[in-house]
Structure 1
């Protein structure tokens, strides 16, 4: 079997329930499905190359000026575009964290420095990290919340990091793709974009609206020159007609989003309690997934039972025995606990 480097590898295994991908447990909203179906009639035409309507609605939703928004073929395309636009000599990535930052960094000859967060700190950033941010650093990737751990960066510390990076002329990328599944607000909801031209926020429709197969991400930045350079290195028509119309429909689904958030807050508490009772070391994730430590071969034990969990051993800074599971509907979560009880017994 090929090494698992991402969740959702349902194509290599016969799976009943996939807990390796962290998306809204209610699935694709019906109105979004309808919009995608209707978009097929328009697919004989090129997509809007400027994504004008979508950018307008994203701006209205987040109260961000349209000229500060850029859309992409998923968040991953934007990470690569940022690296091309900044042309960094040195990139800092705290680990463990999403492997996509490393993949984006590898499109250049930049030096990549991994800052290893410690298990004794719950894999959280501390103020000691500020000393890593020196004049030789050009680009910093941060995940808020962290993936796979699920913790968020303490608000005061995040502000200190962004302040220091502004002082040292370091561009900060804050990945907020899972933030709506936490109780935290986005950085540009509490800080002025104009005060932090060195900060780029990246988000995606993937997780919140359960459409990873559509590929639709977006970014916010007040530095127009950086956005222009990013746009220059992305492919024309990179956001399909299907994706644009899906995004427009998704932005209207406010009740769906809140329903998903409330379910996750409730189910996460229940799952953590049950998993801890099984003897697993469970970390205090704030997101729609749970990070834990168990037997090194737990992934292999679960697959024959039709359950796919995320083996996190390929994340830099982690070893065998670390795993992540999504928070899903209650009956699905019950099935996971049942299987874990069987394979751990």
Structure 2
């Protein structure tokens, strides 16, 4: 099993480089650069007095807020300590044998499957096709391997940034339903895409064997708080998740934040405005650098291929962190992921990139 090295470990990198954390600009983690909203911060402050008590293990207020936001029933919603925990909860509850994942994709899926001694097959995405997911070819792969009983799709995919259109995801979901295959759709970055209308949640109206994962971490800039949720209308999945989940899987602060975060329309609108502007800017500026190839992305990060496998280390010298993608299956040490940040930081990144590549 490949070792997974996640982005965002600014403390470790700063220590290794003998720098102060505040000196480093972190493009390795795909977090909203607007930071914590005033509404979220106030919710955290107000919840301080509640930490002497256990939170309600059913999380009714949190689930109601999520259900209202996504137009589903409260009993369709499950909450957890981040989307990663829910990946492990879902796979543990299903008790399946053979999984199919994209390649490259987020590594925690395969780690969860390996922990359960599941066999893992890979649907390899092609660089020549910009790592797009061809659903017809994916369905053909499922027909060729009839033992597969679980498909896990990251949409938009990490680290490639590609979104599977909703009509194609519906086609895949219907195929999986007819062939007794569970489908897990990880939409952790769907709120931060130019194609958020492609979310499968708007089509989740029937009790298909489908569960959709979401994360509050990226959009609301709370990676240290940890809050994720899953939505399904499948009765069997609901029963298994109820049996599988540990009590108090969400702490008091995350419970309070999740209850109010979607009410902060001003923050949401500012984030969407920032994202549309800076995604377009950074993508255009990166493509002007001839020594790197930039793959199309609909979300708040770009996958690039550089002519130097030392690009990350060179940028460390300029106080900039980017994510090496060498631990993703199908990629090597010439691939990197770069997050979209504030305009000032994006401008700085482009300047430093041009400098180190020219050296």
Instruction: Give the TM-score normalised by structure 1.
Output: 0.96
Equivalent of 2:45, from 37, 46, 53? 37
Kindly state the Cα deviation for residue 4 of structure 1 after the two structures are TM-superposed. Answer: 6.5
Q: Which moved more, 1:247-256 or 1:297-306?
A: 247-256
Q: What is the rounded CA distance, in whole Å, between the counterparts of 1:330 and 1:4 in structure 2?
A: 30
Task: Tell me the SS of whatever aligns to 1:251.
Answer: helix
Where in structure 1 are there 5+ consecutive unaligned residues? none
Task: Tell me the SS of whatever aligns to 1:318.
Answer: coil
Task: Tell me the SS of whatever aligns to 2:101.
Answer: strand
Aligned to 1:231: 242
Residue 48 of structure 1 pairs with residue 56 of structure 2: yes
Q: Deviations over 1:45-97 (max 9, x none)?
A: 01111111100111111111111110011001111111111111100001111
Kindly state the Cα deviation for residue 157 of structure 1 after the two structures are TM-superposed. Answer: 2.3
For the 8 Å contact 1:80–1:107, the answer to whether it is kept is: no
Q: Which moved more, 1:209-218 or 1:157-166?
A: 157-166
Kindly state the Cα deviation for residue 141 of structure 1 after the two structures are TM-superposed. Answer: 0.6
For the 8 Å contact 2:209–2:237, the answer to whether it is kept is: no
Equivalent of 2:341, from 316, 328, 344? 328
Aligned to 2:133: 125
Kindly state the Cα deviation for residue 305 of structure 1 after the two structures are TM-superposed. Answer: 1.3
Task: Tell me the SS of whatever aligns to 1:13.
Answer: helix
Equivalent of 2:226, from 190, 215, 233? 215
Residue 184 of structure 1 pairs with residue 193 of structure 2: no
Q: Which moved more, 1:23-32 or 1:209-218?
A: 23-32
Q: What is the rounded CA distance, in whole Å, between the counterparts of 1:254 and 1:116 in structure 2?
A: 39
Kindly state the Cα deviation for residue 193 of structure 1 after the two structures are TM-superposed. Answer: 2.6
For the 8 Å contact 1:133–1:164, the answer to whether it is kept is: no
C-alpha RMSD over aligned residues: 1.3
Aligned to 2:27: 19
Kindly state the Cα deviation for residue 117 of structure 1 after the two structures are TM-superposed. Answer: 0.6
For the 8 Å contact 1:293–1:321, the answer to whether it is kept is: yes
Task: Tell me the SS of whatever aligns to 2:12.
Answer: coil
Equivalent of 2:107, from 89, 99, 102? 99
For the 8 Å contact 1:70–1:220, the answer to whether it is kept is: yes
Kindly state the Cα deviation for residue 184 of structure 1 after the two structures are TM-superposed. Answer: 2.8
Q: What is the rounded CA distance, in whole Å, between the counterparts of 1:290 and 1:314 in structure 2?
A: 16
Kindly state the Cα deviation for residue 232 of structure 1 after the two structures are TM-superposed. Answer: 2.1
Aligned to 2:18: none
Residue 308 of structure 1 pairs with residue 316 of structure 2: no
Q: What is the rounded CA distance, in whole Å, between the counterparts of 2:196 and 2:47 in structure 1?
A: 34
Q: Deviations over 1:265-319 (max 9, x none)?
A: 1111111221121221011100011111112111111112111101111011111
Task: Tell me the SS of whatever aligns to 1:208.
Answer: coil
Equivalent of 1:174, from 174, 185, 189? 185
Q: What is the rounded CA distance, in whole Å, between the counterparts of 1:13 and 1:192 in structure 2?
A: 42
Aligned to 2:299: 287
Residue 193 of structure 1 pairs with residue 201 of structure 2: no
Q: What is the rounded CA distance, in whole Å, between the counterparts of 1:82 and 1:106 in structure 2?
A: 14
Aligned to 2:289: 278
Aligned to 1:8: 8
Q: What is the rounded CA distance, in whole Å, between the counterparts of 1:237 and 1:225 in structure 2?
A: 22
Q: Which moved more, 1:297-306 or 1:255-264?
A: 255-264
For the 8 Å contact 1:94–1:114, the answer to whether it is kept is: yes
Task: Tell me the SS of whatever aligns to 1:23.
Answer: coil
Equivalent of 2:275, from 264, 270, 273? 264
Q: What is the rounded CA distance, in whole Å, between the counterparts of 1:31 and 1:156 in structure 2?
A: 35
Q: What is the rounded CA distance, in whole Å, between the counterparts of 1:319 and 1:13 in structure 2?
A: 21
Q: What is the rounded CA distance, in whole Å, between the counterparts of 1:171 and 1:230 in structure 2?
A: 14
Q: What is the rounded CA distance, in whole Å, between the counterparts of 1:257 and 1:239 in structure 2?
A: 23
For the 8 Å contact 1:133–1:168, the answer to whether it is kept is: no
Kindly state the Cα deviation for residue 188 of structure 1 after the two structures are TM-superposed. Answer: 2.0
Equivalent of 1:299, from 308, 312, 335? 312
Equivalent of 1:245, from 250, 256, 265? 256
Q: What is the rounded CA distance, in whole Å, between the counterparts of 2:82 and 2:161 in structure 1?
A: 20
Instruction: Give the TM-score normalised by structure 2.
Output: 0.92
Where in structure 2 are there 5+ consecutive unaligned residues? 15-20
